[in-house]
Every structure is written in structure tokens, then in C-alpha cells.
Amino acid sequence: MILDLLFPNRCLHCNRIIEAELLVCNLCFNQINFMHYDYSENNPVKEKCKLLFPVENTYALIQFEEESLSRKIIHELKYRNREITGKILAEWATERLDFKDQKPDLMASIPLHPRKLRERGYNQLHLFTETLSKFYEIPFDHQLIKRNHYAKAQALKDKQHRIDTINTFSITKPVTGKHILLIDDVFTTGNTVSSVAWEILNAGNNKVSVLVMAMDV
């Protein structure tokens, strides 16, 4: 309580004091660019994924533009030690995402390398995934996918390094005949998602769909 008085939570955009469980004030919330595309229909994420691997359905919550409030929100989650942001993003997603009759069997998020996990202290996708799992009653498996190599943040890589994702991931256990929803934070080139998707597809008679917090437009 004393810390709340000394260091009140403030809106990421206008710096107005807001409730502790919020990211932005009501006025600034309207400046978040949500992507209004259906999960089961063609959308920008699906069009890009289809060029890289066989994909069933895709969904992106917000647009990840330069100098935008959406970018501030994702950076708050990834680089400012505010894990609760993942839960808030998931709650926004549940208000907009309808799987209809194409509900996946399992959720799996892109893993961090153990060294990066120690450095950050948490995987920014876990709370997001767990919140969605509970709401939609879809099981999740944080251990299904393993990242084999330590790598610096995508934002710090040049284009060639982003493309080079060969043997970056592996599947840790037998999985076959499943429709797996692959979850990531920001969709840029799609190479990371593609690398994991091919591991899932090659592991057995599986199908892959993709859900991302944001799409770099």
C-alpha cells in the first residue's frame, strides 16, 4: 500500500495515475491498434505463414508499429520486468478471439533458452498462454519445444541473423495427430514461428495454427 502511494502505477502513454492492474488509462486505450481479423479467415499473419509452412489458422491481437503505444506495451512485457502484462494482453485477446469449431488441441509457446530465461527471470509468453488456456479450456505444454541455442534478442539482430534459424528448436517428446496452437509475442519475418512449426509438423501427423500478441506491420 505504501509503495503504491510512493510509486503509483501510471499509464504507459500519458503518464496519468491509473489502477495497479491496468497498463493504460481509458482514454489512451483507444489508441491501441487492435487487429480486427477472424482466426479462421485469411488475414495478414496467415498470408505470410502460408509462404513458409502449412498453417491452419492464425490470429494477431495488435499492430506493432514504430513509436506506437502497442510497441510500448510489448516492450513493457519483454524488457521492463512486468510479467503481468502477459495476463492483461491475454484478457484482451479473450474479448476478441473466437475459435468457433476450429479449437486447437494444445497450446505451446516459443521457448527461451535457459540462459535467457535466467537473465529475464520469466518467459514473457507463459502467463499469456496460461491465461488463454484457462479461459478456452485448452491444455498447454511449456516443455514441448526446446530452444537449442542461446541467441540475442530479435530486436538486436540484423536481417541475416533473423533468417538463420536452422536447428534452433527441437521437440522434446512424441506428439502426433494433434492440432497445436503455436504462441509467440511479435510476428516479424515469421522465420522463428516457421522453424518451430516445421519441427511440430515433422514430428507426426500434426497441424499448426499461430497466435501472436502483435504483428510487425
- Which pLDDT value is given to residue 65? 87
Quote the cell numbers at residue 137. 479450456
- Which pLDDT value is given to residue 149? 85
Taking a C-beta distance cutoff of 8 angstroms, is the pair 106, 181 a contact? yes
**CA atoms of 148 and 160, how far apart (whole Å):** 19
Reference 97, options 61, 64, 131, 62; nearest CA is 61
Quote the cell numbers at residue 199. 519441427
- Which pLDDT value is given to residue 162? 47
- Which pLDDT value is given to residue 7? 72
CATH 3.40.50 fits 32-215, yes or no: yes
Alpha-carbon distance values, 82 to 74, 114, 123, 158 (Å): 10, 19, 11, 26
Question: Taking the chain (217 residues) in consecutive chunks of 10 residues, what is each chunk's mean pLDDT?
Answer: 65 94 94 93 95 97 92 93 94 96 96 90 96 98 92 54 66 96 96 96 96 93
**CA atoms of 131 and 109, how far apart (whole Å):** 13
Domain boundaries, the chain: 1-31, 32-215
- Which pLDDT value is given to residue 169? 95
Helices assigned H by DSSP within 137-183: 159-163
In degrees rounded to 5, what are phi and psi of residue 118?
Answer: -65, -40
Quote the cell numbers at residue 168. 534452433
- Which pLDDT value is given to residue 136? 97
Quote the cell numbers at residue 194. 516457421
- Which pLDDT value is given to residue 129? 98
Q: Any idea how long the chain is?
A: 217
- Which pLDDT value is given to residue 150? 78
69-79 and 84-94 helices cross at what angle (nearest 10)? 130
- Which pLDDT value is given to residue 3? 43
Alpha-carbon distance values, 202 to 106, 136, 195 (Å): 17, 27, 11
Which value, in Å, is the radius of gyration of the alpha carbons in the chain? 17
Taking a C-beta distance cutoff of 8 angstroms, is the pair 63, 202 a contact? no
- Which pLDDT value is given to residue 98? 95
- Which pLDDT value is given to residue 123? 94
What angle is formed at CA 74 by the lines to CA 118 and CA 80, rounded to 5 degrees?
A: 45
Region for 157 from its dihedrals, namely left if φ exceeds 0, alpha if ψ lies in -120 to 50, beta otherwise = beta
